[in-house]
Structure 1
């Protein structure tokens, strides 16, 4: 049988194409776990504490790992440009790259160590069931951890240890993005601020730093407030106070401005409107609500991070990431007007709606 010229051309074209992107995507989890493991073992912390580059043998002893495994891990981290490899008279040693020093060491003010820890030990396990989440259309706590997700935050805060891990995640995120979102709009007219679901208080601290005349009330579940007081917010900070409660059930403190940072993306549209109606009722005349979320493009084309986060909301919560138009619709349904949004250029953006 004669060979089809068209078919031959198509095979030839395919053979000349190297699927670089596809291969990178297939192996993406290898990169994540290399980073996670290096942080978990404390590789970057050991190097930070040394006055000179260290050999693989020195690092392996310091972190309590095999020499062979450590050598391979260090080589991969060098390939990822997280470590710098030095060679002197045939002796190989390693030091932290600047990004690793800033973001991967536990003692750095900009450390993402706790975020990495949460991704490795919680989110990574949930994503093992992404296929089931897509099929079922709901989160996967029961399969991943054997706990019911009937009460979402009972599942997320399923132990004191897990609660602290989640709060540390939030703390590290706002260390990186907090200033940008609270200064996306001029919030200085709002003197009394209520941070609903304020968690570790990191965003509240950014508010009091950016707006010296404001006070911030952190509203959260009683056990979260207890942990925040114990681990995150100093008692001598007179401008930050706490209010215990469930924002779907209990009375909200009166305020000029309510902040919902990474809150609405946890919930369905119906639950979002329910919460926003409660905020509108409690809000002082002339007040406002600030939403802090990763905004999707209106045509659904990106950003990729927000698209992936929306998948994560499927795996972990009842909600989704949304566009600024979708958030504006939720705010409008609750009575808010003069709605604006601001893209920060980082992961999280801001949407501001006013009470007329």
Structure 2
């Protein structure tokens, strides 16, 4: 009599989905590097035209376009020609306000190679994406990949999330906001465009402030967004603001450094001033959510920090002289909410 092994209680398909992530990401990254979506904006292409443009054979050209279509980046019309999908047209065309290609380049050029050495980070409990023996931090101005790619990537990651923050919190109660570590000024540009009464100050490393001048100028906001160079561990933060924003800053640092940054923010704010912490928060029980937990693991290869919980921040804020008043959740890029606190 033939017997059959019982069917597994769960399917292995989720494991295949995880393992296949490399295929999807590298498809996206290569198409972005080739400028495919920017070139296709407002037009279409055949496989033959795409192959000729890049000097490649029909087979690899067809495979890449098919892969892009399969993951929702391209559409195909009745003639077989490919066009940008709505997703690609809105977020993958260079020059668009919410262009996401900057972050794709950061992951592809900077983070992806580091993950081949994830176990080294795990066993050594130190970053691996930069030389901890030669650099003071991830943000060294002499790292060409960081200077050329990282800040554009952070702008890509931040601009969409800035709109969600503007929807979640009423900035009508704020007249001057200090964006600590706000290089690129993505949040400040979005907020100032939404709230005409608002003025902003970006406080970041001097070389980052220089890189930030162009996006501020391009947005026509030189008269409303000031740039102040400094180091928040060594220099006093600018005063005369009624709110401080920390967006995707605190996860870069260990707990002691987080406490120092919060203390500095407290000294810069008047009583009743707002402190807004916009981050990808890990659940208090530390079971997820997946993106927050995975980006927290990413800090193992990138920094000495991690993504923290609302409960952890609440305790540290209390020690720094703040009362936590609200947690506003949203589904952003690199952030899933904002923790609101008042200076006592």
Give the TM-score, by structure 1 length.
Answer: 0.88
Shift of 1:246: 0.3
Question: Residue 205 and residue 266 in structure 1: after superposition, are their counterparts in 2 closer, same or farther (change >3 A)?
Answer: same
| SS of 2:270 mapped into structure 1 | strand
Secondary structure of the residue aligned to 1:284 is coil
Q: Quick check: 1:232 aligned with 2:215?
A: yes
Alpha-carbon distance in 1 for matches of 2:81, 2:176: 53
Deviations along 1:14-43, whole A, 9 cap, x unmatched?
Answer: 4x8651111121121111001100111122
**Superposition RMSD in Å:** 2.2
Q: Distance in 1 between matches of 2:91 and 2:29?
A: 13
Instruction: Measure the CA separation in 2 of the matches of 1:149 and 1:265.
Output: 22
Deviations 1:200-232 (A, max 9, x none): 011111221232212111101111111111x32
Task: Name the larger-Rg structure.
Answer: 1
Q: What displacement does 1:148 show?
A: 3.7
* 1:137 shift after superposition: 1.7
Question: In the alignment, which residue of structure 2 is the partner of 1:13?
Answer: 7
Q: Would you say the 8 A contact 1:84–1:97 is kept in 2?
A: yes
Residue 236 of structure 2, aligned match among 251, 256, 267? 251
Cα separation, 2, equivalents of 1:225 and 1:107 = 21
Q: How far does the alpha carbon of each residue in 1:221-250 deviate from its partner, in whole angstroms, 9 at most, with x for none?
A: 111111111x32117531111111001101
Q: 1:284 aligns with which of 261, 264, 270?
A: 270
Question: Counterpart of 1:30?
Answer: 23
**TM-score, normalised on structure 2?**
0.91
Map residues 1-356 of structure 1 onto 2, 5 A cutoff.
11-14=5-8, 18-50=11-43, 53-88=44-79, 92-142=80-130, 148=133, 150-155=135-140, 157-160=141-144, 162-229=146-213, 231-234=214-217, 237-254=222-239, 255-347=241-333, 348=335, 349-356=337-344
Q: CA deviation at 1:187?
A: 2.9
In the TM superposition, residue 108 of structure 1 has moved relative to its aligned partner by 2.4
Q: Which runs of 5+ in 2 are unaligned?
A: none
User: Residue 56 of structure 2: SS of its match in structure 1?
Assistant: coil
Structure 1, gaps ≥5 residues long: 1-7
Choose 268-277 or 174-183, whichever is displaced more.
174-183
**What is the CA-CA distance between 1:270 and the residue it aligns to?**
0.6
Shift of 1:182: 3.5
